[in-house]
């Protein structure tokens, strides 16, 4: 006896405003991630069950957010931004500490990291500011956007969490980029480039001598020469490179990687799980992973650029580019091309808070695809 007809299932699916191609690609990548995580955790069923629970929560969040029309996000974006700043301020005064960092709020029944929700709030707020008028934006919206981004970056950097602050700042800068602004301080192109280069060098000097902490400087020096401290600060990178290089074309097979299974590779279920993919599934496994990532990014960009209003275009494109940035930073980190920062590999690494934030972003992109904008917002 059939309880549901195909037509009823289609009606149910359309009702929940889910973009089918994007949803299927996300599920395919998530399934691949669960297989890799099971292997990376040495066949730990409890770890697998916990991650499945995280996925259930994250998909629920994506489903709920996909029902919210983007114009409502735009309307309430100032309140979201003020709420986020309020939470980050609470962290500085009342946050709980772990590992030398004060990044969490403990409410008794739940402990969460407010900087995670800022990964979504910042693009929403900046897209709202810049899309208020025609694009490219005028100087005042640009100034307000830069001040807003800088405020969030400084609050998160004070926790300290420099990696997350820079990535969240980048998500806001991406909105500025897609809005069509031009950086032109002087009329002459070469003088303009020289001045911008000088500002970057001066900023780097100030950051190195007055802003960066000792452990952050050590990470940068380790990036340049990890073999200088092979059993200390360079251990992570060296073991990760060994794992990546030993996989070859076809890999060693699931649960057969010596670096991960024998615990030479640190954090092999979280930040360094890409090294497990390369070691156990080889170059072909990495190509398959890149293919899924590429298709998700392509589909998300198509949805964003086909939207009817500037706010949806800016928000969807910036969330998509932010997703790419997390992939790029994680792989660059474990490959020794970037300093080691706590950035998980999207939809693959073990964890709950970052996964829920990521799925919320995809929920917004699906909402952009399925909800029509009011005519007064279509520009």
Residue 11 covered by a domain: no
Predicted confidence band of residue 186 (pLDDT cuts 50, 70, 90): low
Query: Is the residue at 6 inside a domain?
Result: no
How many Å apart are CA 254 and CA 187, to the nearest integer? 58
Where residue 198 falls among pLDDT bands split at 50, 70, 90?
Answer: confident
Q: Is residue 3 part of a domain?
A: no
Asked whether residue 47 is assigned to any structural domain, the reply reads yes
Distance CA 209, CA 207 (A): 6
**For the whole model, what pTM was predicted?**
0.89
Is 9 a member of any domain? no
User: What is the CB-side half-sphere exposure of residue 328 using CA atoms within 13 A?
Assistant: 10
Tokens of 324: 């790419």
Residue 5: inside a domain = no
Residues making up the chain, counted from first to last: 379
Type and span of the H or E element at 85: helix 77-94
Contact 141/132 with Cβ under 8 angstroms? yes
Q: What is the token pair recorded at 372?
A: 């029509």
Rounded to whole angstroms, the Cα distance separating 158 from 135 reads 34
Provide the 3-class DSSP secondary structure of residue 267. Answer: coil
pLDDT tens for 333-360 read 998 888 888 789 999 998 888 899 999 9
Question: For residue 292, what are the domain limits?
Answer: 16-377
Number of domain units in the chain:
1
Give residue 280's pLDDT band: very low, low, confident or very high (50, 70, 90): very high
| 69 occurs within a structural domain | yes
The answer to whether position 76 is within a domain reads: yes
């Amino acid at each position: 006896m059939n309880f549901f007809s195909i037509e009823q299932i289609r009606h149910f699916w359309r009702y929940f405003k889910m973009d089918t191609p994007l949803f299927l690609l996300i599920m395919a990548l998530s399934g691949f991630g669960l297989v890799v995580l099971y292997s990376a955790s040495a066949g730990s069923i409890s770890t697998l069950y916990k991650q499945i629970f995280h996925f259930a929560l994250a998909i629920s969040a994506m489903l709920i957010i996909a029902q919210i029309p983007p114009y409502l996000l735009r309307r309430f974006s100032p309140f979201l931004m003020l709420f986020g700043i309020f939470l980050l301020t609470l962290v500085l005064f009342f946050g709980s500490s772990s590992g030398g960092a004060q990044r969490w709020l403990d409410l008794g029944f739940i402990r969460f990291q407010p900087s995670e929700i800022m990964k979504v709030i910042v693009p929403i707020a900046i897209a709202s500011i810049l899309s208020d008028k025609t694009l490219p934006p005028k100087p005042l919206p640009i100034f307000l956007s830069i001040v807003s981004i800088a405020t969030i970056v400084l609050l998160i950097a004070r926790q300290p969490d420099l990696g997350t602050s820079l990535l969240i700042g980048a998500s806001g800068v991406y909105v500025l980029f897609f809005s069509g602004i031009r950086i032109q301080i002087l009329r002459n192109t070469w003088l303009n480039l020289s001045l911008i280069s000088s500002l970057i060098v001066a900023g780097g000097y100030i950051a190195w001598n007055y802003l960066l902490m000792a452990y952050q400087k050590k990470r940068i020096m380790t990036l340049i020469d990890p073999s200088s401290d092979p059993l200390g600060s360079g251990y992570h990178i060296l073991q990760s490179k060994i794992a990546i290089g030993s996989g070859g074309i076809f890999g060693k097979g699931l649960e057969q990687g010596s670096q991960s299974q024998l615990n030479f590779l640190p954090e092999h279920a979280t930040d360094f799980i890409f090294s497990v993919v390369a070691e156990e599934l080889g170059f072909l496994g990495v190509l398959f992973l890149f293919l899924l990532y590429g298709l998700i990014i392509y589909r998300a960009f198509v949805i964003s650029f086909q939207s009817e209003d500037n706010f949806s275009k800016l928000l969807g494109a910036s969330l998509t580019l932010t997703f790419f940035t997390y992939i790029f930073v994680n792989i660059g980190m474990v490959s020794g091309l970037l300093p080691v920062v706590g950035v998980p590999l999207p939809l693959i690494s073990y964890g709950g808070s970052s996964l829920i934030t990521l799925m919320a972003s995809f929920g917004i992109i699906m909402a952009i695809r399925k909800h029509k904008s009011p005519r007064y917002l279509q520009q």
